[in-house]
Each structure stands twice: as structure tokens, then as C-alpha cells.
Structure 1
Amino acid sequence: MSIKKTTIQIIGSGILQDDVLMVGESLLRKWKISAGHPVQLAFGSFRQEVTVISVPRYSGLRVGSVLARKMGIHSNCKLRVTYSRGRRTLRVGPLISVLVSRDYPEQPDKPFGSITLFCHELVGECRRQGAYVYFFTPEHIGSQPGRVQGWVYDGSWKKTVMPAGDVVNNRLTSRKLENRTSVQHFMKEVKSQYGTTIFNEKFLDKNEVFDALKSNSSLRKYLPESHLLQTFDVFKKMCNQYPAVFLKPVRGSLGKGIMRINKQTDGTFSVLSTTAGAPQKKTYTNVDKLYKSLAGKMKTTRFQLQQGLTLIDHGKRPVDFRALVQKNATGTWTVTSIVARIAGGSHFVSNLARGGTLSTVKEALAKTTLPATIKSNGLLSLKTAALNIASAVEKAIPAHFAELGIDLAIDSTGRIWLLEVNSKPSKNDNTPLNDQKTRPSVKKMIDYCCYSAGFK
């Protein structure tokens, strides 16, 4: 799809009034706007009526410095422009807001810590596609409707007051931050008052996802038996039925707090727990004592109880797969990347935060004893599963998602299983194994922002 970018030129103060917009005559003819007529200029939540003046032999827009400051545009840039004759509205954009957890103003070269490089990538891709992006945290949300403090990049990082975006990408990594009253109020306000699109607007609980997908008969083949841990009877049944079961914090991430329970041949139960170092192992003589040992944890943490699987492995190190599934420039779910993750050392989870390593799917499958047909079709089968699961999550859970990290596994028979769906996929866990300046995931994110904001 061709990308239409129009130059937005800023004229010095005193030369152009802040209620005047200079438009190239070629654009006025295209949009059938008469010079001297008022139109509404829109940039994200910003709205102002301006009088249009024609500029001969020019194909861009010119705004005064006062108007530019109100819009939050701080340098000459190239953006997409659309005009609605029915609403007499000239929209410039798209304006993309990225909500991140925290900033570090004392580090001007790295104001977002470890995700600063990702933010730089977004800035670069927005410039290539004709979009404008800024970054803000929950601390930047104030009482002024439709306005927030945000970071923009113009050769260096600068903080300024910005309109709410046409699109908000929720990159908060903390449920506590996301559940703040100010954050929830902001998201509701911009959606209702300005038609802002907010995607990945909520975290997904593990149990919520599995419960939602159980009703989809076509997906049951991917779902290991799972239950919210609430009663001893269900716990006892699962522990006795399967050689291994997993206990996962419903709201956990990065492999924290996961326990693997194995039933031994002598009737005892061994429990491996993830820690910052090597996994901790404890043994219980029976299921009753094991359940009682969990009582303290269950008071503060809800757990998902899940059937253990016999996964393919590399030298007894379990292997699973992270699929990054994103919506594209037509709003369609696509697979951006799939990587294999190999558990590190003595760990039984594959998260990079727990010492896991990455491999291509092809390399990972080649080292297994799976039949050749399963190896050759493995990547396609994983992609099909990931797309079906993403579509089902979107239909079953009432929230807007445009990017999902879907963790899949293949067992020793070649069957594909769903392990987890993450609505805030890490920008490290799903990085493709190459060294490109701009990751495909960043490009696709901006593609979708432009589409969802109506700048196609």
C-alpha cells in the first residue's frame, strides 16, 4: 500500500495567525475546499477551527508556531492528511500515544530504560510511514481532558504537553499501574470523547483465557486440562491422573512462581519451584500434605492447575515456542515471528528471564526424534494454531487486542498444545533471530495504528 506523506511546515510567530491554515492549492483542488472557508483541524484529541488560505505551487500544509505548539508538533514533519467533506474536518496524523510503565528523566539519552531502543524504533518507523508518536506514563496523566505530558523525539528526547492520540498502545507491564483510577478514567474518557482506539488495553489472566477458549470446539485439541485451583478434590484428581501437573500464578509473568508437581513411582510427590537461581525441590509423602503446604500461598495468590505435558526437548531441556501474532495494515491477524525457546540449565521453564535461549523453529525441530513429516510441517502447524487462538481470544474476551504473545508446545507425539497467551509480549522474548534496524514487529504495529486510526 502506498504511503501518503504531506509536509507540515511550521512558520515563525508573528507571520501566521494561530487560527489560519495554509494549504497547497493542489490539495485544495483535490479536497474541493474553497480558500477562505473555515474547517476543523484535528490532530488526535486536538480540535480547532481554522481558516484556509491557498498556497500556489505548494503541496503541503503550513501552520503558525503557536498552533504547532497547541498540536504538539515541534518540528517540520511529514504526516498523513485526510479530509472529510461532510464534517468539514481536516485530520492530520495519525497521532500515536504509547503508554509505558515508567520514565527516567535523569537519563536524557535513555529515558525509558531497557525499552528506549524499542521507542527509538517506533519513532523511526513513524517517520517512514508518516505518523507521529510520543510516550507517556501514568504519572503524566493530569486533570486536563484530552491532554497529557509526553516524550517526543526531535534529535533528542523532550517532554511536552500533547493531545491524546488517535491510538493508544498500552505497554504497561504492571497490573497495579494499569488498575490505577487515573489510568482507567483516562482510557474511558479518550475512547468516549475522542474515539481513541486503545489496544492491548488489559492483561490476560491465565485461567480467563483457558475458560474462554474451552467453549470453542475447534480449539479444544490445543488445550491441556486446566482448572482454577479452588478445591482439594480437583487438585487430588489432577495429581493422581497425570504424571506431572503445573501450578501457575494466574497473574504471573516471566516464569515467576511456577511449580511442577511430579508423582513418583513410590507414591510420593516432588515439587520443583522456579527461583532466581536453580529450581528448588521438595518432596511430600502424599497429596494431602502437598496440598496443605500450598495453603499459605493460596491465601495471596490464585493458581491455575494445568496438565503436564511430555514436550520435545534438547538434551532433556524442554522446548516450547513463542508466536508473536499481530494485526496488520488491513486489521487482519498475522504471525510476525515464531521462535523456539529452550529451557536453560536445570530450569523447567523456557523464559529468557530464567536462562532460556532462542533457536529457530526449524533448528529446534531438527534436533528432535519427531517423524520427518511433523518436522517439515511444524512451522506451518504452529502458525495455524497461533492464528486460530488469537482470533478466538479476540471473540471470547471483551477487550481490544492487536498484539499477542502465544506460547505453544509440541509433545513427543507431535501434537501442538497451548501453554499461555500474553497481551503484553516482551520485546525481548519474541525478537526474531536477525539483526535488522527496525524489527518487523515494530513496522506491523505502526501499520495497524495507521489502519485503526483511519489513515489508510
Structure 2
Amino acid sequence: MPSKKIKIQIMGPGLLEDDTLALGDMLIKQWKIPTDLPLFLAFGSFRHSVKVIPLIRSDGVRMSAGLARKMGIQPRSPLRLIYRPHSSTIQFGPLLGVLLSQDDAENPERPFGKMTSFCRELANACSRQGVFVYFFTPEHIGKDSEQVSGWVFHKDEWKKTPLPAADVFYNRLTSRKLENKPSVQHFMKEVKSRYGSHFFNEKYLDKTEVFDALAKDGPLLRYLPESHLFRGYAMLKTMCAKYPIIFLKPVKGSLGKGIIRISKLESGAYQALTAQVGGTRRHTYPSLAKLFSALSGRMKTTRYQIQQGLHLIEIDHRPVDFRALVQKNLSGKWSTTSIVARIAGNQHFVSNLARGGTLSTVKDASTRSSLLPGMKSKVGARLKKAALDIAQGVDANLPAHFGEFGIDLAVDTNGRVWLLEVNSKPSKNDNTPMGTGKIRPSVKRIIEYTRYLSGF
């Protein structure tokens, strides 16, 4: 039976006992909820034995202030309610916990810095859907995984309050170091095993594991440029002999940082372009051996992936690639939420917005690009199919729980789609503008998948 969105009325002192829940008689009849037996009340990891009493001609819910306080529920909170007869449980929720890297209690207007606008948007969207969301950081994780100190957005204010472990956790940590902290790893393991919580986007991906996993899936090979974990000069020499352009990419890099583009000039010398914040650093070397010697220092501290260079489509001599946001929906299936074109900035060969890139629609970018005329109308459908194929392939071949991917794709001048990178922590500022009062489809999808996982 589907869940029902309700508003909870919290009663004043002395009007209801903490072990009593008043339910509208319409709900009691509809769901055949027994009123002569003790039942369990559940909210995330919170469990409490209650007796149900009927509210005449009503479909509302009333509880004591003491019980609401134990649960962490705010007055007039819209929540979903479901009765699970097999376990004699009345469950409120779903309860969603979002794990962020940091907060600032001294700045109650923007406690999560530049992530605050996304958090407000998600909180407002959850309220409309009857989902209870809170936000917390690794610092809020205590010794007992049953309770978390989390931020809630209520009556246009951020408040910190103790809350149960959630039904579903959404990992938005932006640092591998934080993600790998023993306290975080222990918490993830505990809530999954003790409370049956779901934890999605539970780990960062690195380029090598993604390409190695997808290479095992025959139909996906068509999207993969030749790519290997870089192992030294012999591999560099082999790849440079096969392809006019090759790339060295930090295995754990992001935002285009530290990518090196290597090409052979007509003179026989080799050129290395390195992506930096202010532009592209250019160096020329008389031989490949000299180039390798110059780069070998950084190879000792950073692992790189070596990848076949592609002849990407261009607009005004600037390379274009595409970012697809692929998310799981209310049915738990992968679906494409958005695809945008990214045009590299001047003095850059990578297209990230952090490097001066600009956004465009797929249709506009295809029309303006160097793509062959007969291919321009086919690009959108090809990108969508590739994004879904790749998301399903990563999900099937890597042992972790994912609910969304940012998938970077390229199109060559012949119209063939190639995979550049898969990101399990896609930016929340990259696809469509925030601050318009509307809830973006990408945010709605997070809520849909939360409801799917929690059975609401």
C-alpha cells in the first residue's frame, strides 16, 4: 500500500502520553491498523512501542511533545506515513541524511558555505514530498551510530538537533581523506548492518578502476579510448607511437587539475601542455626521453592514467565535451537527468567551468561545432544512450552503491561517442541554475531514489 503524506500535530504537555499515538480513524480503517495491540513506531533507527487511539473523522496524526523531541521531529513537519503489518510497525519518513564535508556553526545563514543553496533547495523539495532531511559532517558522528547531531532547515532557519540514523544516507563528501576516515567508514558499516540503512554514492571513483571495470563489459568497449595505468617510459613511447596525441590524467584528479596533453610537433620535438588554474603551461622538449625526464618527478607522488587522445569536435577552435548527469529514479532505474555541452575557455584544452569553460545546450553546440552536417542531429540520442550504458556498466561491475554519476563524454569529428571520465560526486552547480525558486529535476531525482530505497 502506498505511503501517505501527512502533517504531524504535536500536543502540549499532559494531553498525550509518550507511548500513545493518535491516528485519524480514516487511516486506521484504510490500513486496518489494530487499536487493541501495542505497535512499533519507527523513524529511521528510532523504535518505540505505542498504543494507537483513533481521531474521529480525521486522517491526521497527533503525538506528544516528548515523543516528537525523542524523534527529532519539528512542529508541523510534513512527513510520509506507512503501516507495515508484517512487523506491526507504523513508520514515519523517509528520513534522509546528507553527509557533507564541513559546516560553520558561526554562520547560521550559510552553514555549509557554497553548498548551502543546494542544501536549502533539497530541504524545500523534501518538505514538499514529505521527506525529512538533515545534514551532517564527519564531526557530528558520535560513538553510537544510533544518533547523529544534524542540521535541519525549519521555518526558514537552520537548526542543529539530535536525530536518529537515517533510512537513507547520501554521501556528498568532497574529500577522499574525509571519506576514508576510520570514523566515517565505521559509521557507514554500522548503519547498514544494524539498521538496514542504505548509503549511496558511498565512494569516490578513480579513473583506472572505472576503465578496467568497463573493459570487462564487451558492448561498452566501443566507448573506451585506449587507457592504462601509467607505468613508465616504455608505455609512454608505445602510446605516442600509436596516437598523435595522448593524455596523462591524475588517477584521483578532478576539475581538470594536472591533466597533461602530449603531442609530437612537425619538427620531431614533443610538446606538453599542462592544465592550470590561470591557463595552460606549455613546454617543448627535443625528445620524448627529455619530456619523460622532466615529468618523472611528479610521477613519483601522483599516479597517472595514460589515455589515447581524441579528435574532439570544436567551436571556434575550442574543444567541446559533454557532461551527462545520470541518476536512479523512483523505480530504482538509471535515467538521464540532463546533458550539457561544455566549451573550453581560451588558453585551455579542458572544458571544466573551473578552468573558464562555458555551458551550452547539446543542440546548440552540435549545430555550431565542426561535426559533419549529417551527424549533428544524431548527437543527442547517442550521448543519452552512451551515458545510460556506462552508468549501468559501472554499477554492475564495481562493488559499491551508487545513485548518480556525472559522466564526461566526448564526440569526435566522425560523430563517435567516447568516455572521458565518470564522477560519483557530480557538482551541484554545474547543470542548471539555482535560486529561481524552482526545484531542479536533479534534486527531485535524489528524493525519488530515497523514496524507492526506503519503501515510501
Q: Report the counterpart of residue 293 of structure 1 in structure 2.
A: 294
Offset at residue 371 of structure 1 (A): 3.0
Aligned counterparts, 1:265-276, within 5 A = 265-276=266-277
Q: Report the counterpart of residue 438 of structure 1 in structure 2.
A: 439
Q: Report the counterpart of residue 134 of structure 1 in structure 2.
A: 134
DSSP 3-state at the match of 1:83: strand
DSSP 3-state at the match of 1:134: strand
For normalisation by structure 1, the TM-score amounts to 0.97
CA deviation vs aligned residue, 1:62-83 (integer Å, no higher than 9, x gap): 1111111111102212211111
- Structure 2: how far apart are the matches of 1:2 and 1:365? 43
State whether residues 213 and 398 of structure 2, in contact with CA within 8 Å, keep that contact through their aligned partners in structure 1.
Answer: yes
CA deviation vs aligned residue, 1:211-253 (integer Å, no higher than 9, x gap): 1001111111110000101132111111222111111100001
Q: Report the counterpart of residue 382 of structure 1 in structure 2.
A: 383
DSSP 3-state at the match of 2:253: coil
- Structure 2: how far apart are the matches of 1:34 and 1:353? 58
Q: Does 2:75 correspond to 1:75?
A: yes
State whether residues 314 and 370 of structure 2, in contact with CA within 8 Å, keep that contact through their aligned partners in structure 1.
Answer: no
- Structure 2: how far apart are the matches of 1:246 and 1:371? 25
State whether residues 150 and 160 of structure 1, in contact with CA within 8 Å, keep that contact through their aligned partners in structure 2.
Answer: yes
State whether residues 3 and 82 of structure 2, in contact with CA within 8 Å, keep that contact through their aligned partners in structure 1.
Answer: no
Offset at residue 28 of structure 1 (A): 1.4
In 2 relative to 1, CA 365–433 (structure 1 residues): closer, same or farther, beyond 3 Å? farther
- Structure 2: how far apart are the matches of 1:181 and 1:152? 26
Q: Report the counterpart of residue 222 of structure 1 in structure 2.
A: 223
DSSP 3-state at the match of 2:116: helix
In 2 relative to 1, CA 311–434 (structure 1 residues): closer, same or farther, beyond 3 Å? farther
Aligned counterparts, 1:8-47, within 5 A = 8-47=8-47
- Structure 2: how far apart are the matches of 1:434 and 1:124? 12
Q: Report the counterpart of residue 448 of structure 1 in structure 2.
A: 449
Offset at residue 369 of structure 1 (A): 3.3
Q: Does 2:273 correspond to 1:252?
A: no
State whether residues 360 and 433 of structure 1, in contact with CA within 8 Å, keep that contact through their aligned partners in structure 2.
Answer: no
Letter in 2 for 1:4: K
Q: Report the counterpart of residue 348 of structure 2 in structure 1.
A: 347
Offset at residue 143 of structure 1 (A): 0.8
- Structure 1: how far apart are the matches of 2:298 and 2:270? 18
CA deviation vs aligned residue, 1:35-78 (integer Å, no higher than 9, x gap): 24211111011111111111111212211111111111022122
Letter in 2 for 1:441: S
| Structure 2 residue runs without a partner (length 5+) | none
For normalisation by structure 2, the TM-score amounts to 0.97
Letter in 2 for 1:343: A
In 2 relative to 1, CA 157–436 (structure 1 residues): closer, same or farther, beyond 3 Å? closer
- Structure 2: how far apart are the matches of 1:65 and 1:179? 39
- Structure 1: how far apart are the matches of 2:193 and 2:450? 18
Letter in 2 for 1:119: C
Q: Report the counterpart of residue 124 of structure 1 in structure 2.
A: 124
State whether residues 104 and 112 of structure 1, in contact with CA within 8 Å, keep that contact through their aligned partners in structure 2.
Answer: yes
Q: Report the counterpart of residue 53 of structure 2 in structure 1.
A: 53
Letter in 2 for 1:113: G
State whether residues 336 and 384 of structure 2, in contact with CA within 8 Å, keep that contact through their aligned partners in structure 1.
Answer: yes
- Structure 2: how far apart are the matches of 1:206 and 1:430? 22
Letter in 1 for 2:363: K
DSSP 3-state at the match of 1:230: coil
269-278 vs 2-11, which deviates more?
2-11
- Structure 2: how far apart are the matches of 1:435 and 1:15? 43
- Structure 2: how far apart are the matches of 1:434 and 1:415? 36
- Structure 1: how far apart are the matches of 2:371 and 2:51? 69
Q: Report the counterpart of residue 206 of structure 1 in structure 2.
A: 207
CA deviation vs aligned residue, 1:399-434 (integer Å, no higher than 9, x gap): 111110000000111111000000000012233699
- Structure 2: how far apart are the matches of 1:273 and 1:307? 16
Q: Does 2:107 correspond to 1:107?
A: yes
- Structure 1: how far apart are the matches of 2:367 and 2:28? 60
Q: Report the counterpart of residue 164 of structure 1 in structure 2.
A: 165
State whether residues 2 and 82 of structure 2, in contact with CA within 8 Å, keep that contact through their aligned partners in structure 1.
Answer: no
Letter in 2 for 1:139: E
- Structure 2: how far apart are the matches of 1:21 and 1:430? 44
- Structure 2: how far apart are the matches of 1:45 and 1:297? 47
CA deviation vs aligned residue, 1:377-398 (integer Å, no higher than 9, x gap): 1101100000000000000000
- Structure 1: how far apart are the matches of 2:376 and 2:296? 43
Letter in 2 for 1:258: I
In 2 relative to 1, CA 89–434 (structure 1 residues): closer, same or farther, beyond 3 Å? closer
State whether residues 344 and 351 of structure 2, in contact with CA within 8 Å, keep that contact through their aligned partners in structure 1.
Answer: yes
Q: Report the counterpart of residue 193 of structure 2 in structure 1.
A: 192
DSSP 3-state at the match of 1:50: strand
DSSP 3-state at the match of 2:261: strand
DSSP 3-state at the match of 2:183: helix
State whether residues 97 and 169 of structure 1, in contact with CA within 8 Å, keep that contact through their aligned partners in structure 2.
Answer: yes
State whether residues 262 and 273 of structure 2, in contact with CA within 8 Å, keep that contact through their aligned partners in structure 1.
Answer: yes
- Structure 2: how far apart are the matches of 1:282 and 1:383? 37
- Percent identity reads 57
- Structure 1: how far apart are the matches of 2:435 and 2:265? 43
- Structure 2: how far apart are the matches of 1:429 and 1:15? 50
Root mean square deviation, CA, Å:
1.5
DSSP 3-state at the match of 2:291: helix
Q: Report the counterpart of residue 236 of structure 2 in structure 1.
A: 235
Aligned counterparts, 1:366-405, within 5 A = 366-405=367-406
DSSP 3-state at the match of 1:5: strand
| Structure 1 residue runs without a partner (length 5+) | none
Letter in 1 for 2:297: G
DSSP 3-state at the match of 1:102: coil
State whether residues 242 and 307 of structure 1, in contact with CA within 8 Å, keep that contact through their aligned partners in structure 2.
Answer: yes
State whether residues 3 and 129 of structure 1, in contact with CA within 8 Å, keep that contact through their aligned partners in structure 2.
Answer: no
Q: Does 2:412 correspond to 1:414?
A: no
- Structure 2: how far apart are the matches of 1:317 and 1:305? 22
Letter in 1 for 2:55: V
